[in-house]
Amino acid sequence: MYHRLRVADVIEETPDAHSLVLSVPPELATEFAYRPGQYLTLRVPHSQGIVARCYSLSSSPYTETDLKITVKRVPGGPASNWICDDIRAGASLELLPPAGSFTPDSLDDDLLLLAGGSGITPAMSIIKSVLAAGRGRVALLYANRDQNSVIFAAELAALSEQHPDRLSVTHWLDSERGTPDPATLAALISAYAGQEAYVCGPVPFVVVAHDTLQRAGVPTDRIRVERFEVEERSADDRDATLEVELDGQTHRLPWPAGARLLDVLIAAGLNAPFSCRQGHCGACACRLLDGQVDLVHNEILEEEDFAESYILACQAVARSDEVSVTYY
């Protein structure tokens, strides 16, 4: 269920990235308790109504009382630009409580974090938590376009100085070294290949990082990945109308171009099931009765599932004007 939280402060981290500090009233403290690496779901206005968007928490539950999400502008992206342009201290936002499984099992483990751009947000939460409340050591490889786009540069430098034996930060700037290539990155992280690895960033970075870790010999079952949704619209995106059977009722809803089916349902206040929101658990599966969708990412459904019309709501975007799905 959505709750309204007040924006206590807005921090301009870089020209393109704003952090929103959110106050949690005492009566919601339990519901909004979180683990490092989790995200919040936010209702944001859209040309066709309201959509839901997920943003990772960059705060740590061990070092900060308020919650903080950090949002980087995506060129042409309606949600991130609305947040960066229109949200000021004193505004109130509608949010779902924290969720997500991109979170370390133990703060005493040694971790290797690979972050690209705004993928630093959950990494920052994990780093602060491990340093404050655990015994683990953390190695961070952090890739950005150029120096101006490095979010949390000063905070990371201060943490490295305070914990020289427990935090090592390696920056990669495309402006100096070109786009990251797996062979060079693998050499940079080889000393940490035995550690549990966490990768977060936009899809192209995640692909390179995954290849890097495999070259460095990190087993796949020790790699955790969080992809960031890309807000840009593809040429195939179209506004559609959705008919959905859920919880004994049929609903007709506008489905904005490029939005994920699950986000449309959550934004409408419907109780649709989900867990990972990354296309790898299957908790959001439903069946397509009519129309066409594309799945942005899929690690769980197989040919026989598609033959029975199963789709993943967290990954489905509309590809026809009318789409009908059922959860029965």
Residue (18 or 277) nearer to ligand FES, CB: 277
Residue (121 or 278) nearer to ligand FES, CB: 278
* Residue 270 C-beta: closest distance to ligand FES, Å: 15
Token code pair at residue 19: 């952090």
* Residue 35 C-beta: closest distance to ligand FES, Å: 18
Taking contact as CB under 6 A, which single stretch among the options 94-102, 105-113, 239-247, 276-284 is the one that binds ligand FES?
276-284
Q: What amino acid occupies position 255?
A: W
Residue 286 as a binder of ligand FES (CB under 6 A): the answer is no
Residue 5 as a binder of ligand FES (CB under 6 A): the answer is no
Residue 312 as a binder of ligand FES (CB under 6 A): the answer is yes
How far is 320 from 240, CA to CA, in rounded Å?
Answer: 7
Residue 46 as a binder of ligand FES (CB under 6 A): the answer is no
Helical segments of the chain, H only? 78-86, 120-133, 153-162, 174-177, 182-189, 203-215, 261-267, 303-307
Residue (78 or 279) nearer to ligand FES, CB: 279
How far is 292 from 99, CA to CA, in rounded Å?
Answer: 29
CA distances (Å), origin 277, targets 101, 255, 268, 309: 10, 18, 17, 19
Token code pair at residue 158: 């201060």
Helical segments of 199-293, H only? 203-215, 261-267
Q: Which of 205, 255, 274, 327 binds ligand FES (CB under 6 A)?
A: 274
Beta-carbon contacts of residue 154 (< 8 Å; ≥ 6 apart) = none
Residue 186 as a binder of ligand FES (CB under 6 A): the answer is no
Residue (28 or 295) nearer to ligand FES, CB: 295
Residue 270 as a binder of ligand FES (CB under 6 A): the answer is no
Angle at 156 between CA 153 and CA 161, to 5 degrees: 125
Q: Which of 314, 316, 317, 318 binds ligand FES (CB under 6 A)?
A: 314
Residue (156 or 265) nearer to ligand FES, CB: 265
Do residues 207 and 214 lie in contact, with contact meaning Cβ atoms separated by under 8 Å? no
How far is 232 from 243, CA to CA, in rounded Å?
Answer: 25
Q: Which of 277, 296, 311, 316 binds ligand FES (CB under 6 A)?
A: 277
Q: Are strands 67-72 and 17-23 parallel, antiparallel or unpaired?
A: antiparallel
Residue 276 as a binder of ligand FES (CB under 6 A): the answer is yes
Residue 294 as a binder of ligand FES (CB under 6 A): the answer is no
Taking contact as CB under 6 A, which single stretch among the options 37-45, 49-57, 179-187, 279-287 is the one that binds ligand FES?
279-287
Residue 99 as a binder of ligand FES (CB under 6 A): the answer is no
Binding region for ligand FES (CB under 6 A): 274-277, 279-284, 300, 312, 314
